Amino acid sequence: MKLKEIGEFEFIDRIREGCLVRPEGVLLAIGDDAAAFKLPDGEPVLVTTDLLVEGVHFLRNATSGFNLGYKALAVNLSDIAAMGGVANEAFVSIAVPPDCDLEFLEDLYKGMRDLAGRHGINLLGGDTTGSRTDLVINISVVGRAPAGRMLTRDAALPGDRIFATGHLGESRAGLHLILNHILPDTEDDSALVSAHILPHPSLSEGRFLAGQVGVHAAIDVSDGLLSDLGHILTASNVGARINREAVPVSPRLMRFCSRFGFNTVDYALAGGEDYVLIVTVAAKQVEALNRAYEGRFGKTLFDLGEITDTGKLEVVDSTGRIKSPAIEGWHHFRGELNGI
């Protein structure tokens, strides 16, 4: 069935169920000119927004509606996570081409509601309209950050240690399998594909880190470690030295890279869409932070290197050789597919 057969308003009726998972503070949800809600007094409001366009960010015939909806929301939640914030309300605009099935759209909202429900996030409004050829999805998320405890990009200081909250490169490997039509029939391949299509937004991790003494700057890895760390360096006016040996790669990624002949560390350094967090931490707080983090999450942070005052991004190999790599990553205007 196509959307034009039921119209905008019946469509909204179909997808609105389950959108309001946390009614406290909500004054108006879907159905008026604007949504209205209250935030706890005095806490900063956070807003992030992401626009996904068919053929650029995803291939409609290569994804399920559910996975597309899930990931479209996940990337926004990851931005709130990178601020150390709490995500509260999501607003979804979609433009639907005539050939798009209603079932696909309902599945898309199911994917969004699934992830939203797990994090107590309301889908509180949006816009539904037509498109000539490409399916377009824009999600805005409104959240909050306790005053004075917001993680920004501009707070890194020379001497800070640089940590990642998880492994890098798995999402890129998953995309490689998808684009090469390699069916994930092993546990390894399934996990890699899953890392790409159903990424984990690190909201709890970000929230926890924002509450710890000595945590300075943060960002999420969406374009690739080197590219995203580059944003911290620019905003903080500092440099960084990363140890190649320390780049966190999973045994699974190592097996993948040896199978396809990639250098695992290079692969992980330029991998996008991992959605782990990168944080910089005052050196003297590292020990206490590591202990607290492990106590809370049962896993460790990965120490990648340190913030320097050189203004340069450097990668050091085991022999002590230093390279200033050209930063690779996703280029939205240059035709590559930022795959979902």
Residues 6 or more apart whose Cβ sits within 8 Å of residue 33: none
From the list 45, 179, 182, 288, which residue makes contact with its own copies (rule: CB under 8 A)?
45
- Could you give the 3-state DSSP secondary structure of residue 135? coil
Residue whose CB is less far from its own copies, 49 or 258: 49
What number of other Cβ atoms are within 10 A of residue 250's Cβ? Answer: 20
Burial class (CB in 10 A: 0-12, 13-18, 19+), 20: middle
- Site mask for its own copies (CB under 8 A), range 224-243, x = bound: -----------x--------
From the list 15, 19, 46, 233, which residue makes contact with its own copies (rule: CB under 8 A)?
46
Residue whose CB is less far from its own copies, 125 or 239: 125
Per CB under 8 A, does 304 bind its own copies? no
Rounded CA-CA distance 179/170 in Å is 14
Q: Which of 44, 117, 105 is nearest to 80 (CA)?
A: 44
What number of other Cβ atoms are within 10 A of residue 76's Cβ? Answer: 26
Q: How far is the CB of 298 from its own copies (least distance, A)?
A: 26
Per CB under 8 A, does 28 bind its own copies? yes
Give 122's strand partners.
89
Q: How far is the CB of 305 from its own copies (least distance, A)?
A: 21
What number of other Cβ atoms are within 10 A of residue 68's Cβ? Answer: 27
What number of other Cβ atoms are within 10 A of residue 27's Cβ? Answer: 9
Q: How far is the CB of 80 from its own copies (least distance, A)?
A: 6
From the list 1, 13, 14, 32, which residue makes contact with its own copies (rule: CB under 8 A)?
32
Per CB under 8 A, does 13 bind its own copies? no
Residue whose CB is less far from its own copies, 62 or 246: 62
Taking only Cα atoms into account, the Rg of the chain, rounded to an integer number of angstroms, comes to 21
Rounded CA-CA distance 190/155 in Å is 37
From the list 80, 116, 123, 225, which residue makes contact with its own copies (rule: CB under 8 A)?
80
Per CB under 8 A, does 42 bind its own copies? yes
- Could you give the 3-state DSSP secondary structure of residue 241? strand
Q: How far is the CB of 337 from its own copies (least distance, A)?
A: 10
From the list 188, 189, 205, 220, which residue makes contact with its own copies (rule: CB under 8 A)?
220
Tokens of 164: 């990642």
Q: How far is the CB of 328 from its own copies (least distance, A)?
A: 14
From the list 12, 20, 21, 39, which residue makes contact with its own copies (rule: CB under 8 A)?
39
Tokens of 133: 């050829």
From the list 65, 69, 85, 199, which residue makes contact with its own copies (rule: CB under 8 A)?
85
Stretch that binds its own copies, among 82-90, 112-120, 185-193, 196-204 (CB under 8 A): 82-90
List the interface residues with its own copies, window 119-178 (CB under 8 A). Answer: 124-134, 136, 138, 140-143, 145, 150, 152-154
Rounded CA-CA distance 79/273 in Å is 12
Burial class (CB in 10 A: 0-12, 13-18, 19+), 324: exposed
- Site mask for its own copies (CB under 8 A), range 93-122, x = bound: xxxx-x------------------------
Q: Which of 247, 255, 250, 240 is nearest to 311 (CA)?
A: 240
